Amino acid sequence: MDDAPRGVQSPRPRQQAPHPGFLVHNDKPLLQLHAEIDGRVDAIRAERADWLCGKGCDSCCRRLADIPRLTAAEWDLLQDGLKQMTAARLEDIDRKIAALTGTHTRPVVCPLLDEASGACPVYAQRPVACRTYGFYVQRELGLYCSDIESQVAEGMLSDVVWGNHDAIDQQLAGLGDGRPLTEWWRGETGGIRRSPAT
For residue 188, the model assigns a pLDDT of: 43
196's CB contacts (< 8 A; 6+ apart) are 2, 4
pLDDT in tens, 166-190: 999 999 999 999 999 999 998 844 4
Stated pTM of the model: 0.78
What is the C-alpha to C-alpha distance for residues 190 and 179, in angstroms, rounded to an integer? 11
